[in-house]
Amino acid sequence: MKKLTSFTHLTTGEGDRVAYTYSEVDEKGNIKSQNNKGNFIAIDSELITHIRAIQEFIQEKHL
């Protein structure tokens, strides 16, 4: 199974990019691989809405 270990949002020339890392773990809990990476451009409007909500939360509560 793949287990998400981290993700981040970046604003790029292409749009909202989400980069992530994950580990692969077998059915016994043994790590098969780790620090695997991927990324994509957010084009789904619902996902973009969630990204904006996180940005607003951080801006209002932590800055």
- pLDDT-derived band at 51, boundaries 50, 70, 90: very high
Answer whether 18's CB lies under 8 Å from 40's CB.
Answer: yes
What's the predicted TM-score (pTM) here? 0.86
**44-57 mean pLDDT:** 97
pLDDT score, position 27: 95
pLDDT-based confidence at residue 59 (cuts at 50, 70, 90): very high
pLDDT in tens, 1-39: 999 999 999 999 999 999 999 999 999 999 999 999 999
Domain ranges in the chain are 2-62
| DSSP codes joined into one string, 6-24 | EEEEEEETTEEEEEEEEEE
